[in-house]
Amino acid sequence: MSQGKKGNFIGDGTSFLNTPTSPTKMVATRFSSIRSSISHDPFDDDLDSALMKIDVGGEVKELVSASSRSYSNRSISSDDMIPCGQVVSKIDNGNETDNDENDEEEEDQDVPPESSSSEDEVSIGKLHGFGDYATYFQNKTAKQQKADKDYLEWETKRRGGSTERPIFSGCVIHVNGHTVPSINEIHRLVILYGGKFIHYLHNKGAATHIICDKLTPRKMIQFKNYKVVKAQWLVDSISKGELLDWSDYRVIEDVVYGQQRLGFSKLEDKIEEEEVEKQVQSEIIMPNDPESDDEMIPLTQSQNEQNEEVTLSQSGEAHIEELNTNFELTANRQLDARNPDFLEHFFAYSRLHHLSTWKAELRARFLKKILNETTPSQEKKKYDVRVVFHVDFDCFFAAASALNRPDLDINKDPIAVSHGQRTSDVASCNYIARSKGVKNGMWMAQARKLCPELIILDYDFEAYERHSNAMYDYLIQSEIFDAIFPVSVDEVLLDATSYCNANADGVTSTVNALATKLRSDIFSKTSCTVSVGASKNVLLAKLSLRRAKPNGQYYLHENFEEFLENIPARNLPGIGGSIVRKLTAAIGADVNHVPLISDLGKLSLMKLKSIFGEKTGIKLFNYARGIDDTSIDIRRKGDALKRKSVSVDVNYGIRFDTVSQLDIFLIDISKELYRRLIRLTMCGTSITLRLARRAPEAPIEPEKFLGMGHCVFANKSAKFGVPTNDWGIIGSELKALYRMLNIPVHELRGISITMTNLEDVENIKKNRQMKLPFALNTGENDSNKLKPSPVSSPRKFEEENDIDWEVFNCLPLSIQLEQREELLRRGIIPPEVDSHPQPIMESTPTRGTSKVYMQQLIPKMEEEGVSYTKVIESPTRRSPTKRKLQSPSYKQTSPSKRRQSPIKSRLQSPSRMEIPRPNYSTYDETGSYDESVFNALPSSVQKEVLFTLEEKAKNKMAYGHHKSAPVLDSKWLSRKHPLVKLPLFQNKPTTIGSMKSLISGWISSSLLQGGPHLDDVNMMLDYIEKLLQQDNLLRSMSIFQHIKTRLFCESISFESVGSPYTENQDTKALVEVGFKEWRQIIVSSIVPMIQRYCIEHDIEVDTST
DNA sequence: CCAGGGACTCAG
DNA sequence: CATCGCTGAGTCCCTGG
Ligand SMILES: Nc1ccn([C@H]2C[C@H](O)[C@@H](COP(=O)(O)OP(=O)(O)OP(=O)(O)O)O2)c(=O)n1
């Protein structure tokens, strides 16, 4: 559970950038080479040779400066363009020392842990987080030991001569796989405490210890002669100050990616269950983790998973079959979403996930910083010239990753960062590669075609984060700027109006000097170059930045029109492919024509508005004239920066064979969403499920390994009625939503879930109403964090006949849900569920589903290639943007595309499922419901309950109290969703017996939920209809009779004294509703259907109820 | 007319 | 072996009250 617990680079020891675990294989060697001080200035004009000599620990090493000249000989004519590579070392040093004290005092919480020992720093110079580490050029393996020695000396000097105990003296340590702490940190610690560190295991026996938190079976064999220990061994040894016995930290077996965790596969391993259990436990409760109490999710989760295991292994032959399948797949490393550890692994490797996470964290951080500011922002003086800076690292990933390879020259070798060779994306490529036509986002196959000698580097997410933090820390502590607005991990907007206007040298020269200084300072802290664009607004600053790149600066303050006219419109912010296409069409140009800003300027405001809409039209009109009033002041943006949604998207590795596999995954992403919501202390009221389905014409397997290929999208959303963040509730809802979308599991290629209508838990607490399920922990402790209550024993509930719902509702939601399931299972809430064996066990008894679906119960049919009568699809078939990569011409550009949708959508059922929340007091019968129980139900169930109540109320109003059999109206009918066509059962080896037992189970469970699910009812009605169409009246009647019989039996059981049904008033009420629902179905749907058939065929049957 | 929400677009 | 195609915001436009 280390995900999201790393990256203490900034702040009061708590994580700032919540970086997902980064895999070791791409982690940089931070300390492989050392330089004791920054003695050169890379921007020195004299560095024409682009080479400089630096003394590295007595050894002369050639380094390439980052002078922009080696990039290209591009010339910029503007007077304001400062030639790249100015000497600014004086500013650099002076400023740094000046700001140090301020920094220490005022921004105390921003001091990274690494630099906490301030006296040490005085003697050696300021440590800016990781900035100084980053200035060490990385070395090759051969130089490793030397570099380590240098580091030790440097560190010793930094600490004023004191050294740590050589605990690891004599130890040669190698790290394998992902560890906590990271490989870099372990490396540093090993060196610091007298050990040796090796990166590669070239010769057998070279290492004395291998540190490894997780071990794949293959590695297990490979390392069997080594002392393989957990990273904790190192941590504990250091904290104890002595070398601890390694065997106490032996890595025996752990849940690893690529290894099945289901009980079945564990039988194969000769490992004692207890041992594993213990290790799992120790992983869950991490006392050293400063945030561990903020997240006891792992505990809940793990327990659930264990539960799942148990239920799985008990659930009969169907699952053994599935287990076998899994096991086989596992044997050759299952890399898709069927793997239980897929999600964690995927996010650890996903660059886009990292980018998004970083961005969100940065936003939150700066927003919080503003909110915490006690001093009200001084009213700013009005200056004539607004000055906005846009700062961006040059080819960020490529530059940062290249630092791990001292043998490469970012200015000479074509470099790209990517995971693979062929269909893998180029995340970032340097300017050499770009000169060959390689672009960010391009596939490797194409990139290599354009540039065969392209050098591919691994990602190093930790390094990116480090450099980013170094930059932001620096910008904050400089206290130059009126506003700092983070755009992304490598990009920032700055307002330097006050500083530049106040300076006596004049605005222009001050801006240029400041830009130079920024570039120099940031380079010295990160060894990565940044470019700076500056102008009077955000738009122009951005365009200037583009002009400045790479490794340059540009201040645009005059001749704006001239500057703008020849820039492609595409370069404007917010103008993407779609708008450009419309624009091209509007100016009547050829498709291949690149529309320029000057082209845009020719269009009237009216015209622009009519093509692009009100806001976009105005924006484009202004952009064409260099006008932009976007604010970058977080203070003024205020609410605009407040989060409006939280989502988890996975459009990679989505491959399922069965619905139960999908259900497990849906629970997994629900848990992920829950974790994110908890971190944000937020709840939401709406959930949206977005599914990507393989497009009909797309091949089963797309070109990209485990990619999504060409897909069609479908969305469906639901409201919870009350805010929640509980993964159980979310998971149940998602399962329900999936079933409504009618997409066969094996066609799925992508899954996204989004929580909206967010509310802060604190706010909810403040003005909470009665019994809101999230109103936990309202204790006096003003804890900011949502701390779930300790798990209480299920036994407590088992022994109570009457459940105290008050107590129940004070439990964390996930526990509530667990308990609820437990109660269900033990027959306390729904005593019947257990006594009736669940029919047809294809569906996994996954937790959280409190609704039994017939669809779920008979999915076998669905998977056997059944045709569909109607399938809900997204009214608008959106072609995913990614398609552009594969077939640029795919996207339809017809501007009328959208206008069609109204008609279409009218023909189709609404894709949003409304769950009405009527005023309870309106209906007296609702008084018998405990709202807290109601609230805890999945909304799909709530919907049913409310609907029944509403109908009842309506009928009551219309016909008075005595009207007993409410009629179905058109509204009810219109609520029907198109359904999957049922397979013809008689062609299958389905017996009427199995059909009956299925129905029995369905009826008994549905009663406890206030009636059957609408979809299931429709399924059944469809089925009966089909039977009748085939003149199979016998079977229709048989089903009808069976339903009647079952309901009769249930009602007897219900009314008998002491029945578990009547144990609880709420259950009783729900069951009553359930009976009425069923009655309604029989009277209004089944009977008329059969009667109609009989009349048509002149048959007489008994349809009395 | 307005609020709410789905679809689409964009950016790094 | 592949490979890690996320995620939040803004805008347009429709719908329902
Ligand atoms: N399709 C993309 C675009 C960007 N990135 C990542 C890698 C980039 O290094 C980083 C920053 O993106 P930029 O657009 O700023 O591009 P670069 O920094 O690579 O180049 P430059 O800013 O010099 O144009 O985001 C990515 O993974 N995939």
Residue A485: strand pairing partners:
A493
Instruction: Give per-residue burial for A206-223: e unless 16+ CB within 10 Å, then b.
Output: ebbbbbbbbbbbebbeeb
> Which of the nucleotides lies closest to A713 (Cα–C1')?
B7
pLDDT tens by residue, A1024-1037: 777 777 677 777 77
Give the Cα-Cα-Cα angle A1090, A1093, A1096 (nearest 5 degrees): 150
- CA distances for A215 relative to A177, A229, A326, angstroms: 8, 10, 19
Closest protein CA to C1' of nucleotide C8, residue: A645
Q: Name the amino acid, one letter, at A840.
A: I
With 70 as the cut, is the pLDDT of residue A37 above it? Answer: no
CB A785 within 8 A of CB A681: yes
* CA–CA separation, A146 and A31 (whole Å): 11
Residue of A84, A417, A490 to test ligand 1 pocket, by largest number of atoms within 8 Å of CB: A490
Chain-centre distance of CA A927, in angstroms? 41
Protein residue with least CA distance to atom 6, ligand 1: A427
Q: Please say whether the beta carbons of A396 and A358 come within 8 A.
A: no
Task: Measure the CA–CA gap between A578 and A596, rounded to whole angstroms.
Answer: 15
Q: Ligand 1: residues within 6 Å at CB? A: A 351, 355, 392-397, 427-428, 440-441, 490-491, 549-550
A516 vs A596: CA distance, rounded Å: 30
Which residues is A484 bridged to in the sheet? A494
Among A335-349, A403-417, A569-583, A626-640, the minimum mean pLDDT is found in: A626-640
At A667-699, the pLDDT tens digits run: 999 999 999 999 999 999 999 999 999 999 999
Mutate to test the pocket of ligand 1, among A74, A395, A471, A571 (most ligand atoms within 8 A of CB): A395
Residue whose Cα lies nearest atom 13 of ligand 1: it is A395
Determine the atom of ligand 1 nearest the C-alpha atom of A397: 9
Measured by CA distance, the residue closest to atom 19 of ligand 1 is A395
CB A936 within 8 A of CB A820: yes
Ligand 1 atom closest to Cα of A399?
9
**Which amino acid residue lies closest to nucleotide C12, measuring CA to C1'?**
A613
Å from CA of A396 to ligand 1 middle = 6
For ligand 1, atom 26, the nearest C-alpha belongs to: A427
Sheet holding A172-175, edge to edge: A196-198, A172-175, A209-211, A227-229
pLDDT score for A237: 82
More confident residue, A702 or A763: A702
pLDDT above 70 covers what percent of chain A?
48
Q: Residue A86: how many CB atoms within 10 A of its CB?
A: 18
The yes-or-no verdict on residue A805 having pLDDT over 70 is: no
Distance A529 CA to C6 C1' (A): 26
Residue A41 has pLDDT above 50, yes or no: no
The enclosing H or E element of A229 equals: strand A227-229
CA of A692 to C1' of C9 (A): 21
Give residue-wise pLDDT tens across range A505-532: 999 999 999 999 999 999 999 999 999 9
Is residue A283 pLDDT above 80, yes or no? Answer: no
For residue A427, report the distance from its CA to the centre of ligand 1, in Å. Answer: 7
What is the layout of strands, in order, in the sheet containing A388-393?
A483-488, A491-495, A388-393, A530-535, A553-555
pLDDT of residue A998: 61
Q: Which of A352, A354, A396, A491 is the best mutation target for the ligand 1 pocket, counting ligand atoms within 8 Å of the beta carbon and taking the most?
A: A396
Q: In the complex, which nucleotide's C1' lies nearest to the CA atom of residue A749?
A: C5
A828-849: per-residue pLDDT in tens? 333 333 333 332 223 333 333 3
Distance, Å, A912 CA → B5 C1': 9
**Nearest Cα to A426, choosing from A410, A442, A446, A449?**
A442
- Provide the token pair at A219: 């590695």
Residue A56: φ, ψ to 5°: -110, 105
A634, A366 contact by CB (below 8 A): yes
Q: Please determine, for residue A465, whether its predicted confidence score (pLDDT) is greater than 70.
A: yes
Distance A841 CA to C1 C1' (A): 37
- Rounded to whole angstroms, the distance from the CA of residue A621 to the C1' of nucleotide B8 is 21
Question: Å between A685 CA and B7 C1'?
Answer: 21
Residue nearest C3 (alpha carbon to C1'): A705
Q: How confident is the model at residue A208 (pLDDT cuts 50, 70, 90)?
A: confident
CA of A860 to the centre of ligand 1 (A): 46
Test site for ligand 1: of A440, A489, A545, most ligand atoms within 8 A of the Cβ: A440
Please tell me the number of Cα atoms within 13 Å of A881 on its side-chain side: 5
Supply the DSSP string of A341-409, one letter for each residue: THHHHHHHH-HHHHHHHHHHHHHHHHHHHHHH--SPPPPPPP-SS--EEEEEETTHHHHHHHTT-TT--
List of residues 6+ apart from A349 with CB closer than 8 A: A23, A419, A459
pLDDT band at A475 (very low <50, low <70, confident <90, very high): very high
Question: What are the residues whose beta carbons fall under 8 Å from the beta carbon of A440, sequence distance 6 or more?
Answer: A426, A427, A428, A429
Which pLDDT band, with edges at 50, 70 and 90, does A1075 fall under?
confident
- Average pLDDT value for residue range A213-228: 61
B7: residue with closest CA to C1': A876
pLDDT by residue (tens digit) across A883-932? 333 333 333 333 333 433 332 333 333 344 433 333 222 222 222 233 43
pLDDT band at A14 (very low <50, low <70, confident <90, very high): very low
Q: Which nucleotides on strand B sit less than 7 A from a protein beta carbon? A: 5-12
Which is more confidently placed, A826 or A943? A943
Count the neighbouring beta carbons within 10 Å of the beta carbon of residue A305.
21
- Decide if pLDDT at A734 tops 90: yes
Q: Which residues contact A786 (CB under 8 A, 6 or more apart)?
A: A294, A678, A681, A761, A776, A777
CA of A775 to C1' of B1 (A): 37
What is the 3 state secondary structure string of A711-746?
EEEEEEEEEEEEEECCHHHHHHHHHHHHHHHCCCHH
Amino acid at A877: R
Predicted-assembly ipTM surpassing the 0.85 threshold? yes
Looking at per-residue pLDDT, the higher value among A698 and A87 belongs to: A698
Identify which of A33-37, A545-549, A982-986, A1091-1095 has the greatest average pLDDT.
A545-549
Reading phi first (left if > 0) and then psi (alpha if -120 to 50, else beta), residue A205 is in left
Nucleotide nearest to A651 (CA to C1'): C5
Q: What percent of chain A is predicted at pLDDT more than 90?
A: 35
What is the rounded distance in angstroms from the CA atom of residue A392 to the CA atom of residue A492?
A: 7
SS3 of A558, please?
coil
The atom number, within ligand 1, closest to the CA of A549 reads 23
Cα gap A561→A266, rounded to integer Å: 70
Buried b (16+ CB within 10 A) or exposed e, A654-663: bbbebbbbbb
Distance A394 CA to ligand 1 centre (A): 8
Backbone φ and ψ of A462, nearest 5°: -65, -40
Cα of A43 vs centre of ligand 1, distance in Å, is: 23
Mean pLDDT of A121-150: 37
Q: Which nucleotide is nearest to A754 (CA to C1')?
A: C7
Please, which residues have CB within 8 angstroms of residue A713's CB and are 6 or more apart in sequence? Answer: A690, A691, A692, A693, A874, A877, A878, A880
Question: Mutation test of ligand 1: which of A352, A428, A529 has the most ligand atoms closer than 8 Å to its C-beta?
Answer: A428
Q: What is the number of other CB atoms lying within 10 angstroms of the CB of residue A109?
A: 12
- Round and report the angstrom distance from CA (A945) to C1' (C1): 53
d(CA A873, CA A886): 23
For residue A753, which nucleotide's C1' is closest to its Cα?
Answer: C7
Query: Highest mean pLDDT: which of A165-169, A559-563, A990-994?
Result: A559-563
CA of A341 from ligand 1 middle (Å) equals 28
- pLDDT of A469 reads 97
Tokens standing for A1046?
């079952």
Please count the other Cβ atoms lying within 10 Å of the Cβ belonging to residue A1052: 10
Rounded CA–C1' distance between A897 and B9, in angstroms: 14
Residue at minimal CA–C1' distance from B5? A912
**Protein CA A949 to sugar C1' C5 (Å):** 45
Find the DSSP H helices in A527-596.
538-548, 560-565, 577-586
Which atom of ligand 1 is closest in space to residue A464's alpha carbon?
Answer: 9
CA distance A897 to A876: 9
Q: Which atom of ligand 1 is nearest to the CA of A429?
A: 19
**Interatomic distance A1050 CA / C3 C1' (Å):** 54
Could you give the CA distance from residue A1061 to residue A1049 in angstroms, rounded to a whole number?
13
Kindly report the protein residue whose alpha carbon is nearest to atom 10 of ligand 1. Answer: A396
pLDDT at A1013: 65
In Å, how far are A100, A114, A568, A575, A1035 from A597, measured between CA atoms?
45, 48, 6, 11, 71
Per DSSP, A493 falls in state E
| Residues whose beta carbon sits under 7 Å from strand B | A 352, 355-356, 359, 396, 487-491, 573-580, 686, 688, 713, 715, 717, 719, 756-757, 874-878, 881, 897-898, 901, 911-912
Mean pLDDT, all residues of chain A: 65
Using the atom order of ligand 1, give the atom closest to the CA of residue A392.
22
What is the rounded distance in angstroms from the CA atom of residue A556 to the CA atom of residue A809?
61
Residue A462 has pLDDT above 90, yes or no: yes
Which numbered atom of ligand 1 lies nearest the CA of A491? 15
Q: Per this entry, what is the length of chain A?
A: 1105
Q: Which nucleotide is nearest to A615 (CA to C1')?
A: C11
**Closest residue by CA, ligand 1 atom 17:** A395
| Distance B8 C1' – A602 CA (angstroms) | 26
Place of tokens 């029945």: A1059
Is residue A143 very low, low, confident or very high in pLDDT (cuts 50, 70, 90)?
very low
- The reported pLDDT for the residue numbered A1063 is 55
What is the structure's pLDDT at A690? Answer: 97
Nucleotides of C under 7 A from a protein CB: 2-16
User: Is residue A905 packed enough to be buried (19+ CB in 10 Å), middle (13-18) or exposed (0-12)?
Assistant: middle
Q: Kindly state the tokens that stand for A160.
A: 């004023």
pLDDT band at residue A575 using 50, 70 and 90 as cut-offs: very high
Could you tell me the distance, in angstroms and rounded to a whole number, from the CA of residue A184 to the centre of ligand 1?
A: 25
pLDDT band for position A995 (cuts 50, 70, 90): low
- C-beta separation of A801 from A964 below 8 A: no
Highest mean pLDDT pick, A18-27, A230-239, A269-278: A230-239
Q: Do A576 and A441 form a contact (C-beta atoms < 8 A)?
A: no
Identity of the highest mean pLDDT range in A284-298, A411-425, A932-946, A948-962: A411-425
